[in-house]
Amino acid sequence: MNNLCVAHRGFSGKAPENTRAAIQMAMDEPFVHWMEIDVQLTRDGVPVVIHDFSVDRTTTGRGKVKDLTWQEIRRMDAGQWKGRQFKGEQVPSLDEVLQMVKGRLKLNIELKTSGDMYPGLEEAVLERIRAHHMLPDVVLTSFEPKALIKAKELEPEVRTGLIIDAHPRNLISRLKQMKCSFLSIGYSHLDAAFAAELVRNGITPMAWTVDDAKSMRTLAKMSPDIMICTNRPDTWGQIFIQKIAPKVPFWRRKWRF
């Protein structure tokens, strides 16, 4: 399928981001084959799926993820901020998400870190991925080049990708130097020539975060190889499912019984 749909933090347009509800809602869409999530470490070293460095915005708790234990974060409600119907949703561990999606979705796992904020993050994430035998089903991405280099040193077989919201001239050479085969880039920095150059160099481009139909169509015209990361998989489905499955006149249909 062209222009693969990547559910951003699950189906976060409708459900609370990075929760089991959002993940399940994404999995319920048969055309969603990829999902992007964010991973950080608790104070006691548990990889958890949450975007912000603090829990304040998306939970009933307060404080920085790195200063809180897994049990403390577990007691927080991570759903009711999005709607009363999501009350009781919790911040999931990476382990729980891997169990949910194995055999159904591939994962873009963002190593959410800055500098040396999370010593051991790469080891902890890779350990869980290996435990579920999901190394071929993931790509590790990050804004932090050091995290990607460390992950690649620990596990040469893992795919890695830089996240960037810019298009510096030396970007492809930087990616090659870091042994990245994936690029997560703000969609406004992509054009057809650059997308083609990335693909020629063995680098998969993913555009983020694309929620409107017009931008999705523009990216599709640039290249079928651009993955589209969106909070609204339903919008993607309305565009591309119709596009790839046009109506066929009844006299040309192949009937199956």
DSSP-assigned beta bridge partners for residue 243: none
User: Do residues 45 and 18 touch, judged by C-beta distance below 8 A?
Assistant: no
DSSP-assigned beta bridge partners for residue 141: 110, 161
Tell me whether residue 8 is one of the annotated catalytic residues: yes
Integer Cα distance of 18 and 125 in angstroms: 16
With CA atoms as reference, report the closest residue to 20 among 79, 67, 83: 79
CB-CB neighbours of 22 under 10 Å: 29
CB-CB neighbours of 15 under 10 Å: 24
Tell me whether residue 167 is one of the annotated catalytic residues: no
**In the numeric block, which tokens belong to residue 76?**
């927080």
DSSP-derived letter for residue 91 is P
Choosing from 33, 51, 132, 167, which is the catalytic residue? Answer: 51
Helix, strand, or coil here: 214? helix
Helix, strand, or coil here: 41? strand
User: Do residues 110 and 97 touch, judged by C-beta distance below 8 A?
Assistant: no
User: Do residues 108 and 130 touch, judged by C-beta distance below 8 A?
Assistant: no
Catalytic residue annotation: 8, 51
